[in-house]
Amino acid sequence: MDAFVYQSAPVRVVFGAGTIAQLPAELERLSISRALVLTTPPQERQGREMLDLLGARGAGLFPGAVMHTPVEVTEGAMKQVIALGADGLVAVGGGSTTGLAKALALRTDLPQVVVPTTYAGSEMTPILGETRDGLKTTQSSPGIRPETVVYDVDLTMTLPLALAATSGMNAIAHAVEALYARDKNPIISLMAEEGIRVLARGLPAMQRRGNDRDARADALYGAWLCGTCLGAVGMALHHKLCHTLGGTFDLPHAETHSIILPHVMAYNAPAVPDAAARVARALGAADAADGLYQLARSLGAKLGLKDIGMPREGIEKAAYIALTTPYWNPRQLDRSAIRELIARAWAGEPPQETPGA
Ligand code: NAD
């Protein structure tokens, strides 16, 4: 066995159905007596219900979280934190809402309780991506990571199936890259394989029956495992490409992950045959890249970047940016192969292995 370093994160996780009822007690554990509840405009009603549930421990609601954590929004929320004398944050929503809680925690050191309602996984990471003047920058620090995460399957029952599909593929991407990360370790690899396995079981079952609580529980459990992977080890080409494409062409986050993942798997597979075998095994597929592509297809997810707003002329630019400040990757980055990978993803074609490692 190779030598490794494993660092566990001090996050308290409460998981189940109906767990939201424990929210007031979780706030008490953290000595939060005046919480500001955060959510997005479409989830305002859910946020208000959360505030009601908190009773005297709820100080107010900020339903203004948006994608990519713009600093103007954070500054607006900061004013409310100060005006209310808030001593804690409760985020109810997906990665966008969690991002706002993290940005506020970074500025105030207030404790955070996150209640995730998508599978993005941000709640398990010490990473914050913020946007200033249209430019997104990412930073990482232990203080950004939430103290407590309450996963309640009931709150995910309203997640539209199309969003659940791509959000689930986004989660799987964290686990795939964890299996071949430079700093991979056996514990995180166990979580990664199990995360892919339960998501590959839950997501199709959910598409067949939208109100299948067991399927939704599988997906949420998988999202926790995959988010833990993202927060524990470094990511590679897949995440770099998604950041580049999302930032440059303003593409939707989860859809971009879902489209790119099979193609990066095909590119990296020759360099990481063990990781590819584990991904395939978790998917119950003969081949990792094809298995990911078929999973996305069976979930009705969009398969081409052209279908989510990327112009054809962008292929060259994306290849250029992706190679300018690359992340570490298990396979050396070859410009023409990366360009070909993006072109295939743009057209929605099946992934194709490029020989050599
Ligand atoms: P999101 O949070 O923007 O949610 C998408 C939409 O779905 C929103 O309108 C939201 O209100 C709605 N929604 C969420 N849950 C719902 C539910 N249960 N029922 C009905 N509607 C619901 O999308 P996301 O994909 O979860 O997060 C994307 C953002 O998170 C991006 O900005 C991305 O960069 C960030 N992210 C950060 C990290 C990290 O570690 N820092 C990790 C993953 C994602």
CA of 39, closest atom in ligand 1: 11
Q: Which residues line ligand 1 (CB under 6 A)?
A: 40, 42-43, 67-68, 93-97, 99, 117-118, 120-122, 125, 127-129, 155-156, 158-159, 163, 167, 230, 253-254
Q: Are 312 and 306 in contact (CB under 8 A)?
A: yes
Are residue 83 and residue 98 in the same domain, yes or no? yes
pLDDT at 248: 86
Best probe residue, ligand 1, of 117, 151, 255 (max atoms within 8 Å of C-beta)? 117
Ligand 1 center to 99 CA (angstroms) = 9
Are residue 192 and residue 317 in the same domain, yes or no? yes
Using CA atoms, how far residue 174 sits from 41, 184, 192, in Å, is 27, 12, 8
On whether residue 135 sits in a domain, the answer given is: yes
Ligand 1 center to 93 CA (angstroms) = 7
Q: Which of 77, 85, 94, 75 has its CA nearest to residue 32?
A: 85
Are residue 172 and residue 32 in the same domain, yes or no? no
pLDDT at 184: 97
Task: Return the CATH number at 133.
Answer: 3.40.50.1970
On whether residue 354 sits in a domain, the answer given is: no
Q: Are 222 and 245 in contact (CB under 8 A)?
A: no
On whether residue 1 sits in a domain, the answer given is: no
Q: What pTM was estimated for this model as a whole?
A: 0.95
Are residue 259 and residue 289 in the same domain, yes or no? yes
In this structure, what token pair is assigned to residue 200? 């590959």
On whether residue 355 sits in a domain, the answer given is: no
Atom 9, ligand 1: which residue's CA is nearest?
Answer: 42
On whether residue 353 sits in a domain, the answer given is: no
On whether residue 283 sits in a domain, the answer given is: yes
Are residue 109 and residue 169 in the same domain, yes or no? no
Which of the listed residues 140, 156, 172 is the one where a domain comes to its end? Answer: 156
Are residue 142 and residue 109 in the same domain, yes or no? yes
The DSSP line for 101-162 is HHHHHHHH---EEEEE-SS--GGG-SEEEEEETTEEEEEE-GGGS-SEEEEEHHHHTTS-HH
Q: What φ, ψ does residue 117 adopt, rounded to 5°?
A: -120, 5
Domain count along the chain: 2
Q: Which of 101, 107, 92 has its CA nearest to residue 125?
A: 101
On whether residue 20 sits in a domain, the answer given is: yes
Which residue range(s) make up the domain with 312? 162-347
Are residue 122 and residue 199 in the same domain, yes or no? no
Are residue 143 and residue 115 in the same domain, yes or no? yes
CA of 166, closest atom in ligand 1: 25
CA of 167, closest atom in ligand 1: 25
CA of 67, closest atom in ligand 1: 32
Q: Are 282 and 193 in contact (CB under 8 A)?
A: yes
Best probe residue, ligand 1, of 156, 253, 261 (max atoms within 8 Å of C-beta)? 253
Task: Return the CATH number at 318.
Answer: 1.20.1090.10
Atom 6, ligand 1: which residue's CA is nearest?
Answer: 94
pLDDT at 322: 84
Are residue 54 and residue 177 in the same domain, yes or no? no
Are residue 215 and residue 124 in the same domain, yes or no? no
Best probe residue, ligand 1, of 11, 66, 96, 104 (max atoms within 8 Å of C-beta)? 96
Which of the listed residues 156, 172, 197 is the one where a domain comes to its end? Answer: 156
pLDDT at 98: 98
Are residue 212 and residue 341 in the same domain, yes or no? yes
- Interatomic CA distance for residues 278 and 126, integer angstroms: 26
Ligand 1 center to 287 CA (angstroms) = 30
On whether residue 106 sits in a domain, the answer given is: yes
Atom 35, ligand 1: which residue's CA is nearest?
Answer: 95
CA of 124, closest atom in ligand 1: 40
CA of 41, closest atom in ligand 1: 11
pLDDT tens for the chain, 357 residues: list them.
889 999 988 999 999 999 999 999 999 999 999 999 999 999 999 999 999 999 999 999 999 999 989 999 999 999 999 999 999 999 999 999 999 999 999 999 999 999 999 999 999 999 999 988 877 788 999 999 999 999 999 999 999 999 999 999 999 999 999 999 999 999 999 999 999 999 999 999 999 999 999 999 999 999 999 999 999 999 999 999 998 898 889 899 999 999 999 999 999 999 999 999 999 999 999 999 999 999 999 999 999 999 999 999 999 999 998 888 778 999 999 999 999 999 999 999 999 987 665
pLDDT at 357: 55
Which of the listed residues 122, 156, 190 is the one where a domain comes to its end? Answer: 156
Ligand 1 center to 1 CA (angstroms) = 37
Are residue 177 and residue 312 in the same domain, yes or no? yes
